[in-house]
Amino acid sequence: MTARVTVPPVPFVAVRAAVTIIVASAVLLAGCGGSGKPPVVAVVGDSITVLSGPGVEAELSGYALYIRAVDGKRIDQMIPALQAELQRDPKGVVINLGTNDAIQARTHPDWLTGFDALWDLVRSRTCVVYVTVSTNADYLGRHAVAADIDAAIRQLAAQHRNVKIVDWNAAVHEDPSLLASRNPPADHIHPYTSRAWRWLGTHYRSALESCGLHPS
């Protein structure tokens, strides 16, 4: 996500691909019980999602869950991945992107084009869950991009009933220990603890359920 990579991005992708297969298989086995098909949910993100994957998967058990996350990517760079996941026709989509738009603001200032393109892709979904961007990232990018993205998210939520917000920015400012870490050292951006991962997963679940999407 940042220029200083604390964990190599290639293992990130490899681990995520493996876990996604396991989650999908578990859901298929559960579906064989005859209790009805679970709602399909896609989660698209950057290294925050890569790191928090175990907690998200645990808290979203019972959904047909597919996670697509790549370290260091901006919103516009994850559009193809989102398009691929939408082929599964998910009822719920969780978007945890924008941190790298804030960090890379000096070299890639146009976050809005990607933000609008992403919204155009997901606007018809039953539930669109946006995760706010920690404004800690604005200190790295030296622009108020995270704050602007969060304002755009709130505007969408005010105008569209299918848009829900998970306020990660508020959470990490109210409880900085969510970003605590000893090894690697805390960078005030990444969630390195299982408690932080579970926080994200729990709030994703609550947002999806508020749209009427309940796990099987």
Residue 184 belongs to a domain with what CATH number? 3.40.50.1110
Give the angle 165-171-175 at the CA atoms, nearest 5°.
170
Q: 139 falls in which pLDDT band (50, 70, 90)? A: confident
Asked if pLDDT for residue 4 goes beyond 80, the answer is no
**Is residue 1 included in any domain, yes or no?**
no
Name which of 32-41, 115-124, 159-168 the model is least confident about.
32-41
Asked if pLDDT for residue 3 goes beyond 80, the answer is no
Q: 129 falls in which pLDDT band (50, 70, 90)? A: very high
Question: Whole-angstrom Cα distance, residue 38 to residue 98?
Answer: 29
Strand partners, 112: none
Asked if pLDDT for residue 34 goes beyond 90, the answer is no
**Is residue 4 included in any domain, yes or no?**
no
* Residue 138 belongs to domain spanning: 9-210
Predicted pLDDT of residue 7 = 29
Q: 33 falls in which pLDDT band (50, 70, 90)? A: very low
Predicted pLDDT of residue 26 = 42
Asked if pLDDT for residue 22 goes beyond 50, the answer is no
179-216 pLDDT tens trace: 999 889 999 999 999 999 999 999 999 999 999 999 98
Predicted pLDDT of residue 25 = 35
**Is residue 111 included in any domain, yes or no?**
yes
**Is residue 181 included in any domain, yes or no?**
yes
79-105 pLDDT tens trace: 999 999 999 999 999 999 999 999 999
Domain count of the fold of the chain: 1
Report the pLDDT averaged over residues 113-137.
Answer: 98
Which pTM was predicted? 0.85
- Cβ pair 150, 170 in contact under 8 A: no
**Is residue 180 included in any domain, yes or no?**
yes
Question: Whole-angstrom Cα distance, residue 157 to residue 201?
Answer: 20
**Is residue 2 included in any domain, yes or no?**
no
Report the pLDDT averaged over residues 19-38.
Answer: 48
**Is residue 90 included in any domain, yes or no?**
yes
Q: What would the two tokens of residue 2 be?
A: 């940042």
**Is residue 151 included in any domain, yes or no?**
yes
